[in-house]
Amino acid sequence: KWFKGNIIVPEDILSFCCNGLQGSTSPRRAREPEEREEAPGAMASPSAAQNPTEVQMSQLVLPCHTNHRGELSTGQLLKWIDTAACLSAERHAGCPCVTASMDDIYFEHTISVGQVVNIKAKVNRAFNSSMEVGIQVSYEDLCSGKHCSICKAYATFVAQGPLGSKVRLEPLTPQTEEEKIEYSIAAERRRMRLVHKDTLKDLLTSSSQETERETRDGSGAVPAERTRVESVELVLPPHANHQGNTFGGQIMAWMENVATIAASRLCHAHPTLRAIEMFHFRGPSQVGDRLVLKAIVNNAFKNSMEVGVCAEAYGQEMSISRRHINSAFMTFVVLDQEGHPRTLPMLAPEPGDGERRYREASARKKIRLDRKYVVSCKQTEVPLSVPWDQSNKVYLSYNNVSALKMLVAKANWTLAREKEKVRMYTLEEDRFLSFRIEMSVRVAAGRAFSLLSNLRRRHEWDSHYVSAELVQKVDDDDMIYHVVSQKLRNENKPQDFVILASRRKPCSKGDPYVVAFRSVTLPTHPARAEFTRGETLCSGFCIWPESEEMSKVAYYNQAMPGYLNYVTTNVAGLSSDICSTFEACEKFLLKNKEDLISRLQDF
């Protein structure tokens, strides 16, 4: 614990929690070990207020479920995951549902025969006709009682009415802190899925020449054509759901099978599936369809390879063109006896489409690493300042907004002091001391959002800001600023920051307007001798409409323990500096609201 009794923090925290900036030189926490144990019986103990959409499935791994090594087939696991997720979606929708997409899945461990697979699925958020289902998979060793995490996945399901018509879903009301966090971040994940293809196109455009040079390397490489696989499956009633549509999990299992064969043909060994990239089902297939599954190794890296798989369907009439059902990209490794990845042979792509797939695989690897590093890591595992580039801009924006939404959804905020309109709350958690400062303002939420998201106007109400230069406009919702602030106590030069500002309008009724800030690094703006480079991990504004003319403005900031070197002030005193800053913020909002009304009247 940092402290007990009265909360003691420096004046610098109080000032910078108003301006959204904080410095830290404290070391990051070491990464947790690969194998994370769960509490025994985590799946078995019912919650006091269990989510009505929650589905739990436990499957004993039998020899018929395993491969030659006695490990659970990944295809079988995908079938169980899809079934549990579909049942959860149908609990909420009250009607049949179909799998629309699946986000990235990273498999942390293999599961052996005789162990138990525990799957928990529940709806995180319902949109108009689609919903996101979160799935947690762990294994249980019945002899030792050990529980370990296998993977976490997010699937999107669409509710279907008669004749395949879409059904409008009822909104979901989260209850627990965890559910509120997942509910809030689901909107960000949805946004990330929609721009996934554009991210790949942008990266290919910016790095095409480099990847072309890589394709000319590698004498004695294995021709990609040798890894090509084509197989056909007849969809029978056991492969389909109660609507007659082929289970999404069954299609994924068939795709994993041909992908494994293709990977084996490159390495002449038994590969292990490590990851499946985000994919979308383009259309349904029914009982009686023939599914043609094609796979080929797209690229072989030093210790891993990407296999591309395509699924097409056709009926009895061969004259009818095939329907594209799904495409997926799977990453395989080959493990030695110690469980370490082996070096793989190089791949010689086919001219034309083969070279295109080769380049795209290199781009996808870069995106996968960025997404896993920035999105999948815990907040304490991501550096304060992450390098910004074209390949990770979507994921840094996601991390920026989701980190703030996670902070907003936290429970156990403690009211430290209330003075007039301003209320200050604190939250002590792990290595962070977080602040929340809020007030109600007679300004429409949309107008407050527009004013507070523009850092170039921050100096008009925040005396800690000296200047804010717009360095790069990433898109309409993301901007990068170079910010210069006042000198800190006992410092002889001002601080500067490179800040990514991400803004979001409400996704649905009840959502706030969000303006999130985090530090990034840019090669064009390195640390300079005349400034002390500062960093901020998570800060920003949330603005809730209270009426057409009233809004609640809340500012959040996570303070790092490095600030405790400056301990001087009791936060329970609610320093006049914070009050005056927020009073200035209110005057700024009111003044600019009136200026807008005057301009409209003049017009």
What secondary structure does DSSP assign to 539-574, as a single string? EEEEEEESSSS-EEEEEEEEEPGGGGGG--EEGGG-
Query: Model confidence over 88-122: pLDDT tens digits?
Result: 999 999 998 999 999 989 998 999 999 999 999 99
The yes-or-no verdict on residue 41 having pLDDT over 50 is: no
Mean pLDDT computed over 323-347:
92
Query: Model confidence over 510-562: pLDDT tens digits?
Result: 899 999 999 999 989 999 999 988 888 889 999 999 998 899 999 998 876 54
For residue 109, count CB atoms less than 10 angstroms from its CB and return exposed for 0-12, middle for 13-18, buried for 19 or more: middle
The yes-or-no verdict on residue 299 having pLDDT over 70 is: yes
- HEC secondary structure over 337-352: CCCCECCCCCEECCCC
Average pLDDT, whole number, for the chain?
A: 82
CA distance 135 to 119: 7
Chain centroid, CA 591 distance in Å: 38
| Predicted local confidence at residue 10, as pLDDT | 40
Mean pLDDT computed over 503-508:
92
The yes-or-no verdict on residue 601 having pLDDT over 80 is: no
DSSP 258: H
Q: What share of the chain has pLDDT > 70, as a percent?
A: 79
For residue 404, count CB atoms less than 10 angstroms from its CB and return exposed for 0-12, middle for 13-18, buried for 19 or more: buried
CA nearest to 262, candidates 271, 251, 249: 271
Residue 580 CB contacts under 8 Å (≥ 6 apart), including other chains = none
| Predicted local confidence at residue 105, as pLDDT | 92
Q: Which of 36-45, 189-198, 273-282, 326-335 has the lowest mean pLDDT?
A: 36-45
User: Regarding predicted confidence, which is higher, 503 or 196?
Assistant: 503
CA distance 452 to 186: 24
- The pTM for the full model equals 0.79
Query: Model confidence over 224-270: pLDDT tens digits?
Result: 999 999 999 999 999 988 778 899 999 999 999 999 999 999 999 99
| Predicted local confidence at residue 479, as pLDDT | 95
- Give the pLDDT band (50/70/90) at residue 382: low
What structural domains and CATH numbers belong to the chain? 52-185 (3.10.129.10), 219-379 (3.10.129.10), 381-592 (3.30.530.20)
Helix, strand, coil shares of the chain, percent, nearest 5, are 30, 35, 35
Mean pLDDT computed over 51-67:
94
